[in-house]
Amino acid sequence: MMTLVYVKGDLLAASEDMIGHQVNCQGVMGSGIAYQIANKYPKVHDEYCKKVIANTKAGNMGTVLLGECQICDSGNKKIVNLFGQDHFNAPGINTRKTNYDALSTALYHMYYYAHNNGLSVALPFKLGSDRGGGDWEIIRAIIDEYMEIFQVPTTIYAL
């Protein structure tokens, strides 16, 4: 049985092969881990924006992206944009924007890819819970399930 490993440290300094984080479907990486990733990995931000813009130009609403898993190559590791929320919260507001089914689908695809390529995963503590307003216990149970199914080593980073 695999167990989630929790460490205190900077997610962006993770030694794991993949860093997963939740994104919205609006093309905004304006806070939290997404903001940090956009600053450290501008190519990842550009790929994310291109995906959202292409979706919009195709006449789709943002929700079409829900559940998608965008794997971006940053050079030394993969950054995974998990489309788990349609919109984002305004500053100071923390209503639930995380769509559990969408985040679950995106995580499934990330773990499938990691398993097939022998990669390890790093995730932020309270993925989809801090800025997305989701229940960490529900999300952690989804992570536990896929980590076990796919046998992918996973580390949770908390500051």
State the pLDDT at residue 154. 98
Per-residue pLDDT of the chain (159 residues; tens, 9 = 90+): 788 999 999 999 999 999 999 999 988 998 889 999 999 999 999 999 999 988 776 666 556 899 999 999 998 899 999 999 988 877 777 789 999 999 999 999 999 999 999 999 999 999 999 889 999 999 999 999 999 999 999 999 998
| CB-based contact 31:131 (threshold 8 Å) | yes
State the pLDDT at residue 62. 57
| CB-based contact 77:19 (threshold 8 Å) | yes
State the pLDDT at residue 61. 59
Q: Which domains are seen in the chain, by residue range? A: 5-158 (3.40.220.10)
CA distance 132 to 23: 9
Q: Where are the alpha helices (DSSP H) in the chain?
A: 32-40, 42-57, 100-117, 136-150
Which of these, 152, 138, 77, lies nearest to 110 by C-alpha position? Answer: 152
pTM to 2 decimal places? 0.93
C-alpha of 21 from chain center: 2
Q: Which phi and psi angles does 131 have, rounded to 5°?
A: -75, -30
Radius of gyration of the chain (CA): 14
Map residue 103 onto helix, strand or coil: helix
Which of these, 23, 30, 27, lies nearest to 50 by C-alpha position? Answer: 27
